[in-house]
Copies of this chain bind each other. A is one copy, B any other.
Amino acid sequence: MSRPHPLSGYPEWLPSQRAVEQHVLDSLRRTFELHGFAGIETRAVEPLATLLRKGDIDKEVYVVRRLHAPDDAEVGDDTLALHYDLTVPFARYVLENAGHLTFPFRRYQIQKAWRGERPQEGRYREFCQADVDIVDRDALAGHHEVEVAQVMADALGRLPLPPLTMQVNNRRLIEGYYAGLGVDDAPAVMRHVDKLDKVGPQAVATLLADEAGLVDAQVRGVLALAEVSAADASLVDRVQALGVRDPLLDQGLAELVAVMQGTADLACDRFRVVADLRIARGLDYYTGTVYETRMAGWESLGSVCSGGRYDALASDGAVTYPGVGLSFGVTRAVAPLLGRGLLTTSRSVPTCVLVAVASEHARTASDRVAAELRRRGIPTEVAPSAAKYGKQIRHADRRGIPYVWFPAADGADAGVADEVKDIRSGEQQPADAATWSPPPHDLTVEVLQP
């Protein structure tokens, strides 16, 4: 086998990079559990029919078939395919297990998903998502729209990433406002507004007039709302100053204010929430609050954490399950930073101590020291060969192991102790494997400037 090459769109990491990714995943999980979310996993595959229900992504689905399936086996509804997100499998899981779940059901799910997209930075064919959702039967209380934002604010604020801004909008606010303007086809208008960042207000105004048939005052009203962005209660004044009155608008505005107020205490240097009334993507699917999240300096990646409220996340005909959730694109946010070497870690391997080996004959003595240190929770390995001590120390250094342990020679006087060397400082001291403890060796991760 000649040296293989990476597959485009399938990021893989060296052990020290994987340690950073694992640190992010652990931190997410810890925070989700701190908020009382239970973890689940779903299988990697779903029947094609389940995956294609959301109509617009069929080109990206990967079908899975046995290599030796019969030649005439056709792709059908029960053909299996890899899931492209965690929401569709979660909806299926809720329907399948509804009788065994307690509602409102709170779950997090951290798993890979697959899409046959053209690979580029921030877009991968295999990627990891971290989702939280709350789903209830028949009706879902509005405060859960605040809660999922709180959970993600808490979770993302703890991550070693560039500062994140969550932009929040509300479909009821937009629909109510449009209705107040006398605009009928809200979804069509939203789709045009979604192009604002790409083509600018001038071009969107033309689209709204020519394609959506809006009159001048309506176009001005739609664009004026899209310009509203606020990180505090001034939001209400700014929307009301636009002079449109509608009860649905009022409801949506109150819901949006609740999300802002509910997350205010969680704002930190690394995470903030703003109401941004031009956020349109997702309004087509969602029925209440919608969320998108951008990373400072990395806006080209698009949203790294998105979601919203669905009035019908799932339905089996008899019962409908409304839900609200957020999905953080772990790979989308982390892979570009890792790939460019912008996340550094204090620890490239889990090992804290390398126990030196005086001779192959004395390996068992080194094994005993290692077992004793491990018994007390200290990650330890034994040197791979009984080379000269200088070479064993260099091996520890190359692997990023901070301490080297030298067992006292077999048959040494009772007064002769083991010794341990901190190879960063060069300091060497007598030590007893039954009592010695290193300073905490927690992994820390730092973000560097590009």
Contact = CB atoms under 8 A, between A and B. Distances in A.
Contacts of A68: 58-59
Given A7-B45, A15-B39, A59-B67, 9 more contacts: A1-B317, A13-B41, A14-B101, A35-B379, A36-B380, A36-B401, A38-B349, A150-B367, A262-B364
Q: For the complex formed by this chain, how many copies does it contain in all? A: 2
Interface stretch (A92-100, A269-277, A417-425): A92-100
A325 to B, nearest CB: 15
A14 B67 contact: no
B374 A44 contact: no
A34 B367 contact: no
Contacts of A143: 360, 363
A106 interface: yes
Interface string A39-73: 11111110110100100001111111111100000
A399 B63 contact: no
Contacts of A150: 367
Interface string A381-401: 110110000000001001101
A349 B39 CA distance: 9
Interface in A108-125: 112, 114, 116
Given A38-B19, A65-B63, A44 B384 contact: no
B34 A316 contact: no
B104 A384 contact: yes
A18 interface: yes
Interface residues of A, number: 101
Nearest to A9: B43
Interface string A9-37: 01111111011001000000000011111
A384 to B, nearest CB: 5
A265 interface: yes
A42 B15 CA distance: 11
A64 B63 contact: yes
Given A65-B65, A66-B59, A96 B38 contact: no
A12 B43 contact: yes
A41 B67 contact: no
A374 B75 contact: no
10 contacts: A22-B39, A35-B380, A44-B126, A58-B67, A59-B67, A63-B65, A104-B384, A136-B384, A141-B384, A141-B385
Chain B CB within 10 A, most for which of A43, A44, A112 = A43
A62 B65 contact: yes
Nearest to A143: B363
